[in-house]
Chains A and B, each alone.
Chain A
Amino acid sequence: MSDNRRKFLKKASAGAAAVSVPMLWPASASAQQWNNQPEKGATLRVLRWKRFVQGDEDAYMANVKKFTEKYGIAVRVDNEGWEDVRPKAAVAANTGGGPDIILSTNDDANLYPDKLLDVTDLSDYLGKKYGGWYPGAQAYCRPDGKKWIAVPLGCAGSMIVYRGSQVKAAGFDAFPKNTDDFLKMFKALKEKGTPGGMALGNATGDGLWCNWLVWAFGGMLVDKNNKVIIDSPETAKALEYGKELYATFVPGTLSWLDPNNNKAFLDGQVSVTNNGISIYYAAKNATDPKVKEMAADIQHAAFPVGPVGQPTESHLFFNQMIFKYSKYPKAAKEFLRFMMEQEQFDPWLTGAGGYVAPPLDTYAKSAIWTADPKNTPYRDAVKNMRPAGYAGKLGYASAGAGADFIIVNMVAEAVSGSKTPKEAMQRAQQRAERYYKV
């Protein structure tokens, strides 16, 4: 947080209680107009991913209750593991029946944009009121730069989680900011007997670090014209670097799915990994004193910058889709608006303990990001992320390539020595070209 912002917040909190909230949030907020009348007798069904942290679900359901009390609209919320939401959303899109609203992941909205309600009015309203949508959120939900096919919810930041004491013992007082030092740190940690490790199995969320690796060295699956260019000297450099990094990992990371690194970290078997804030959340709220004690030692950092000279973060994005088949589209829009308004969204962000990074600039000012400084690195995850299909456009091809783990498997093949970097790149190129043939 900048000094100016600190001063501003101090002044704001010192003001009269009656004006404290308007001071905290932009003055333009109250100027935005929203006209929408939900259908009479409307009821809604919402399908969302199951909680990662309990506070998220509790706060979300409290907001749902508030909505029902205010509008008299009953809302049924179903929770599914987020790996299972995507298939259900796909079936809903294909059959034209199912929940009115689905909260899903990554580029799902781009798989079936024609089946989704145009939410441009709602997104414009929210964007103007809350400081504007970050570019990454727009890339996912406004693929043509005009029409919004979904309302961004935020993303689960894939940041570095590390044991401060162990990194320090390995000779690093501050977390490395570039890839060279990052590698040195992993080597030192291995020598100290406290290795790191990151998932290389078919892990949808935690496998995203492979995008960072490729992008950090200038590699890309596709260029701006969606031409597949993964078989490149830049990717080769990334894979050679990855081989050195992998050599320092704790054994078994080739099999790691999304929950594995959480377990290994909380058991003290790895000192550094990539994850959402859930590891820290679990440690803070643990009943086991040994795990709870670990919370004080847990630190977070952004991924280091590679030779490209700029951050290349990749995070798990969440979107909110209203399906055209909904009998109550106005009620559905009203529900999303209500949930995204500051009175509801801010308590929900707080309840989620920093698990979801906001897509709107104003919500970066939420107290959750500074109440505990360890939360702060997750705050700007949406702001800094590159969309999954970088540098091309999102759509069926990017979603298919991601779901098929093309990048993750290419990295896993090359770093484990199962294939040479060249062979791994060629396989990835061939598989990606199939998707991008559309």
Chain B
Amino acid sequence: MLPAGVLLLLFLTYPLGLGIWLGFTDTKIGRGGAWIGLENYQFLWSDSVTRLALFNTLFYTFIASVVKFVLGLWLAILLNERLPLKTFFRSVILLPYIVPTALSAIAFWWIYDSQFSIISWALVKMGLIDHYIDFLGDPWNARISTIVANIWRGVPFVAITLLAGLQTISPSLYEAGAIDGASGWQRFRFITLPLLTPIIAVVMTFSVLFTFTDFQLIYVLTRGGPLNATHLMATLSFQRAISGGALGEGAAIAVAMVPFLLAAILFSYFGLQRRAWQQGGSDK
């Protein structure tokens, strides 16, 4: 127990505590800072770029997480059926997840290139558009494009985890449902979904956490541009703290992410995982 406690303190509690402390100081790179209370937070609240980054992060996380869940669940159900070459398809679906993020981000960077995009090229050749799409040069296009790249990368994690959950559901429950005349939707609604809820809670908690704190994808694709339209809290924190040298302010941006992350965890814990029936009781 002691080694585990020491490890937790050293690698989890200390960095978090240090980050919180730095957020209350005006520490710069290579220079100690003085306590300035809430000044960093007051400034950040008035800073239009930070507010834009917060909006971007929430938008990015919400859209990407919902789509990843829907696509992941659909894929998991599909892969749980008796399909030919099922093992092969299960392996293939993992590919986006095992490719290093930086590498897949570079691939998307090419796909979205304003001059060389394969998508634009194909659409032009097919006569569907007459000029290349400005994927990363227009603020809303850039937001959507980065979300699509995140979804592509994140779906396998959701799909494979939910597939594992699906395989724990006893086939006899479906057989009983079929005997009672339940439709496909009813079997999904009253058997699959309730029994999958605990794993959904876990996988979506992690999915939200990973998406909310995404960094590499944005850093490679846009570095927060154009016009700060794709800056997430994580990328802005890095830009201000490390590149810009304002460690205190950067830490404050990072700490400002914590309440949102805690909310996601608490929602999962109290809202989904601790249903009474899972503890042997019954839900009210």
Contacts and interface: CB of A to CB of B under 8 A. Distances in A.
Interface residues of A, number: 45
A265 to B, nearest CB: 10
Interface stretch (B6-14, B73-81, B86-94, B129-137): B129-137
A419 B277 CA distance: 55
A270 to B, nearest CB: 8
B29 A251 contact: no
Given A111-B28, A251-B114, A403 B134 contact: no
Interface string B106-119: 00000011111000
Given A257-B223, A260-B114, A114 B131 contact: no
A364 B245 CA distance: 34
Contacts of A44: none
Interface string A389-407: 0000000100111011100
A412 B116 contact: no
B187 interface: no
B225 interface: yes
A94 B246 CA distance: 12
B225 A254 contact: yes
A431 B228 CA distance: 13
Contacts of A257: 222-223, 225
A216 B78 CA distance: 62
Nearest to B29: A90
A405 B31 CA distance: 23
Contacts of A427: 48
Interface of A: 86-87, 90-91, 93-94, 111-112, 114-115, 200-203, 250-257, 260, 263-264, 267, 269, 396, 399-401, 403-405, 409, 412-413, 416, 418, 427, 430-431, 434-435, 438
A86 B239 CA distance: 11
B226 A255 contact: yes
Interface string B25-41: 00011110000000000
A302 to B, nearest CB: 26
Q: Point out which of A250, A254, A430, A438 has the most chain B C-beta atoms below 10 A from its C-beta.
A: A254
Contact of A418 (B116, B139, B142): B139
17 contacts: A87-B242, A90-B242, A90-B243, A111-B28, A111-B245, A251-B131, A254-B225, A255-B142, A255-B222, A255-B225, A257-B222, A396-B28, A401-B244, A403-B239, A403-B243, A435-B244, A435-B246
B175 interface: no
Interface in B237-283: 238-240, 242-247
Interface class of chain B by DSSP: loop
A426 B242 CA distance: 25
Per DSSP, are chain A's interface residues mostly helix, strand or loop, or mixed? Answer: helix
A234 B131 CA distance: 36
A367 B131 CA distance: 46
B116 A434 contact: no
B115 A264 contact: yes
Interface of B: 28-31, 43, 47-49, 112-116, 131-132, 134-139, 142, 222-228, 238-240, 242-247
Contact of B244 (A255, A267, A399): A399
A86 B238 CA distance: 12
Given A201-B223, A254-B137, A254-B225, A404 B244 contact: yes
Contacts of A264: 115
A197 to B, nearest CB: 9
A80 to B, nearest CB: 13
Contacts of B138: 254
Contacts of B139: 418
B1 to A, nearest CB: 30
Contacts of B244: 399-401, 403-404, 435
A203 B222 CA distance: 9
Given A254-B137, A399-B245, A404-B240, A112 B115 contact: no
Nearest to A115: B30
Contacts of A94: 29-30, 247
The 4 closest A-B pairs by CB, nearest first: A252-B114, A112-B30, A255-B136, A403-B243
B227 A416 contact: yes
A412 B227 contact: yes
B115 A87 contact: no
A203 B142 CA distance: 16
Contacts of A263: 113, 115-116
A91 B228 CA distance: 25
Given A201-B222, A252-B132, A93 B29 contact: yes
Nearest to A408: B225
B29 A255 contact: no
Contacts of B137: 201, 251-256
B43 A434 contact: yes
Contacts of A430: 47-48
Nearest to A112: B30
A257 B105 CA distance: 14
A112 B113 contact: no
Contact of B31 (A112, A269, A400): A112
Given A254-B137, A256-B114, A403-B243, A114 B227 contact: no
A260 B135 CA distance: 14
Contacts of A260: 113-115
B280 to A, nearest CB: 51
Most-contacted residue by chain B among A91, A255, A260, A438 (CB, 10 A)? A255
A403 B43 CA distance: 18
Contacts of A91: 242
B243 A114 contact: no
Given A253-B137, A255-B114, A267-B115, A418 B30 contact: no
A90 B115 contact: no
Given A252-B113, A256-B137, A267-B115, 15 more contacts: A111-B28, A200-B226, A202-B222, A252-B137, A253-B114, A255-B114, A263-B113, A404-B240, A404-B243, A409-B225, A409-B228, A412-B225, A431-B49, A434-B43, A434-B47
Given A255-B142, A267-B116, A427-B48, A202 B30 contact: no
A413 B242 contact: no
A269 B228 CA distance: 26
B29 A413 contact: no
Given A90-B30, A111-B30, A251-B131, A396 B222 contact: no
A7 B43 CA distance: 62
A400 B222 CA distance: 19
Contacts of A203: 223
